[in-house]
Structures are given as structure tokens and as C-alpha cells.
Amino acid sequence: MVVVMAADATEEDADNVVSLVREAGGEAFVSRSVSRTIIGLSGDIDNLATLNLPAQPGVCDVVRISVPYKLVSREHRRERSVIRVGGVPIGPDTLTVIAGPCAVETPEQTLQSALMAKAAGASLLRGGAYKPRSSPYAFQGLGEKGLQILADVRAETGLPIVTEVVDPSDVDLVATYADMLQVGTRNMQNFPLLQAVGGAGKPVMLKRGMSATIEEWLMAAEYIAQRGNLDIVLCERGIRTFEKATRNTLDISAVPVAQRLSHLPVIVDPSHSGGRRDLVLPLSRAAIAVGADGIIVDVHPHPETALCDGPQALIESDLRELASVALHLSPLVGRTLTPAPAPAMA
């Protein structure tokens, strides 16, 4: 941590910072130049953070040198992590496709979507039973009935399930059905929810908040890790910008940036970022090329009647191309496409 003193700060101001830091058990090293005084600090960063140094007289700026997230950082673990979801790996050597409907609507629609997901090269099934909708009048999901449908479809197809949880009080219930818990963009900074999924004993997919910086996203992941759960996959799903041609702007650079800062896998959601079916394949190609560890894609057998996000769902005729893109681009980026697990024998 470095404290930059204001140009008009007095010697007493600098001495005050030094004594506060030393009283807190840290060390302070003062460098004076003609126009500025800079104080380098060492010691327990969390302890130093309680000193409220930016508010001290004469302090112009306090710059953190080490990152404000530890467990998920590459300083903590140099090698990139592999997270297993019902036995399916997500990590640096594989490309894992997750696909399924935005929302679970009926048993038939969910099963058909799962078969579509398999045809698209997916090894994990997505589908929301609890939907965090912007409008309170929109379909909110089937709740536990939806979870049961997902479990039935998993039994039939062998695909482990990724499903969202929006309320901390539902985490235990959702975790009894899900292979991976999803925290959506609207809940990225719902700290009680992050702590609850951190204690749920299941892998977590953490979507980037649509207005969150990469650092905020990683600090959100740290909340989960701090509760003892390091099985976290980050998902870039587009951010809010001035651009209106797409639902959100896919921040493709977030993939290599987050992978450099964190050991956690990073996947991309081309469906919720683009918000349009015709963009899903181009954005999927971009995601794979940039080095994403996977993609998560919406599919629907009848998007025209979908209760949620129909315009972005891939249809039957798109699946072969997505499968081919995933299969053929993977080796070009040093990965293999993760195969779908076989259904358990009845």
C-alpha cells in the first residue's frame, strides 16, 4: 500500500500517517521529493485498511498494490483451477459447453431442450427454476417444481444441471437438486446470497454484474471463497454500455484479464450478452478464440412461445453449427471439447 501525500501536506501530516501505521503494527517508509511525499506501507493490509488513511489530514491518495481479493487470485494459486460439476470439468485444457432453456417451463420443453443441448455439444444442462426478472409481472419460474423437472431430465439424459438461486433462504433447497448453483448478474453483489452459496457445498457459477468492474466481480467471488468454497466459475455475460444495438456489450477482453488475475475458470454467455439469436454463433466463436474455458448458451424448442428470452434462444437448425464450432475450434486453442457424460443405467 502506498500513501501519496498532497502537495501542501505538512511534515506533521506525514508523521501522523507513520505513527498511525506503526501503532497498528505495520511499517511505514517515507520518501520525500521536492514536490511530494510518498509513504510506502507494509503489514497486514486488512488491518491497515481500518485506519481510514484516505481521510487523514494531508493525504491525497492511498493506492493498494496487492489485490483486494486473495483466495481467488493467482497470487494465491498460480496454476489455473479445474472445477468439476457432476464430474464434468471446466478448466484450461477443455472447452465445456453448457446449454439449455433460459427457464424451465414444462417437462417436455426441458427434455427437448436437453436433447438440443446434447446435439449442440453440451456436457451440462442449464435452466432456471427461480428467475430474477426485471419486471415483477414477468414469469418468475416454477420454483421447486422446476427443480424436480431438471432432476428428472438429468436422470434421463445424464447431463448435470446448472440452475440459478436468487434468495439466500432457497440455497439449501436448490443445492439438493443442482450440480452447480448459478448466481446471476442482478445478484452479483448480493452479499448474503454469495455467503450462502459459499457454504452450500456445490460449485458456483458467478455471472458478472452488468455494471460491475472486473475487480468487483473478483471481490464477489472472494465472498464465496471466504466461506470455504473455491469451486467457482466466472461467467462474462455482457455489460451495460451506451450501445443499444445489443442487449449488453460482451466484454471479450474480460476473459483474458480475469484469467490473468484469478485462477478460476472463465466462461462466456453469448446469449444474454447479445440478446439475439443471430449473434450467438459469432460471439461463441469469439469467446472460444479469446480463450474462454466454456460457453453457456440458451436453446429452446419453440422460442416463439418461450416464457423467457425467446429471441436469443438457438433453434434446432443452429445446433449442428454450434457443435461444429465447439469441436473444431477447441483444438486450435489447445483444448478438447468436454464430452457429455453417459446417462446412468436404469
Spell out the alpha helix ranges (H) of the chain: 11-23, 45-49, 107-119, 144-157, 171-177, 191-198, 214-226, 254-261, 270-274, 277-290, 316-329
CA-CA-CA-CA torsion sign (46, 52, 54, 59): negative
- Binding part of the chain for Mn ion, among 91-99, 170-178, 186-194, 302-310 by CB under 5 A, reads 302-310
What are the DSSP calls for 183-224, one per residue? E-GGGTT-HHHHHHHHTSSS-EEEEPPTT--HHHHHHHHHHH
d(CA 177, CA 264): 24
Select from Mn ion, ligand PEP, none the partner in contact with residue 184, using the beta carbon and a kind-dependent cut-off of 5 to 8 Å.
ligand PEP
β-strand partners of 95: 337
Closest residue to ligand PEP in the complex (CB):
184
Please list every residue from 52 through 91 that binds Mn ion, using CB under 5 A: none
The nearer residue to ligand PEP, 207 or 300, going by C-beta atoms, is 207
Q: How far is the CB of 309 from Mn ion (least distance, A)?
A: 4
Secondary structure (3-state) at 180: strand
Selected binder of ligand PEP within 112, 185, 259, 338 (CB under 6 A): 185
The nearer residue to ligand PEP, 207 or 335, going by C-beta atoms, is 207
Select from Mn ion, ligand PEP, none the partner in contact with residue 237, using the beta carbon and a kind-dependent cut-off of 5 to 8 Å.
ligand PEP
Q: Residues 28, 82: contact at Cβ < 8 Å?
A: no
Q: What is the largest CA-CA distance in the chain?
A: 79
Amino acid symbol at 12 = E
d(CA 280, CA 297): 8
**What angle (nearest 5°) sits at the alpha carbon of residue 83, between those of residues 314 and 237?**
40
Selected binder of ligand PEP within 102, 125, 129, 166 (CB under 6 A): 102
Q: How far is the CB of 224 from Mn ion (least distance, A)?
A: 22
58 contributes a contact to ligand PEP by CB under 6 A: no
The nearer residue to ligand PEP, 80 or 186, going by C-beta atoms, is 186
Q: Residues 251, 238: contact at Cβ < 8 Å?
A: yes
Please list every residue from 233 through 292 that binds ligand PEP, using CB under 6 A: 237, 269, 272
Selected binder of ligand PEP within 118, 207, 263, 300 (CB under 6 A): 207
Q: How many residues bind Mn ion (CB under 5 A)?
A: 2
Selected binder of Mn ion within 39, 102, 204, 292 (CB under 5 A): 102
The nearer residue to Mn ion, 48 or 98, going by C-beta atoms, is 98
Residues lying near ligand PEP in the complex (CB under 6 A): 102, 128, 132, 184-186, 207, 237, 269, 272
Residues lying near Mn ion in the complex (CB under 5 A): 102, 309
